Amino acid sequence: MHELSITTSMLDIVKEHMTRHGAEKLRSLKIKVGEMAAVEPQSLLFCFEACTKDTPLEGAVLDIEVIPLTGRCRECGTEMRIDGYSAQCPKCRSVSVEHLSGHELAIVSMEVE
Ligand SMILES: [Zn+2]
């Protein structure tokens, strides 16, 4: 499962951070996930709970921020919100649109003690 490998590598980063700071408990973890990252927040939450159970990370709150897919027209520079997979510039109708956000998959912050 896609979400499981993401969770595992995310938790590796968290554990490394905790070791470096001598922390024993994870209170919360905030991550951002782009719409295009093909990640289901629900299954991510499920994997997170499953992976942290019976570890020092158990009970931590996972906060998932979903980043909407946005783009910019390569012809006229108009920025837009993209719904679905194909994008068209609302101004000049060009389909040459580059993605600005929506592919993120990263840890924003974590709270340890
Ligand atoms: Zn345009």
Q: How far is the CA of 74 from the centre of ligand 1 (A)?
A: 7
- For CA atoms 45, 28, 99, 72, the dihedral sign is positive
Residue range 2-67+101-112 in CATH 3.40.50.12160: no
3-state secondary structure 44-78: HHHHHHHHHCCCCCCCCEEEEEEECCEEEECCCCC
What tens-digit pLDDT sequence spans the chain (113 residues)? Answer: 589 999 999 999 999 999 999 999 999 999 999 999 989 999 999 999 999 999 989 999 999 999 999 999 999 999 999 987 689 999 999 999 999 999 999 999 999 99
Question: Global pTM?
Answer: 0.84
CA distances from 57 to 12, 46, 71, 78, 104 (A): 11, 14, 37, 44, 24
pLDDT at residue 79, rounded to an integer: 97
Q: What is the DSSP letter of 102?
A: S
Q: How far is the CA of 60 from the centre of ligand 1 (A)?
A: 44
Q: Where are the domains of the chain?
A: 2-67+101-112
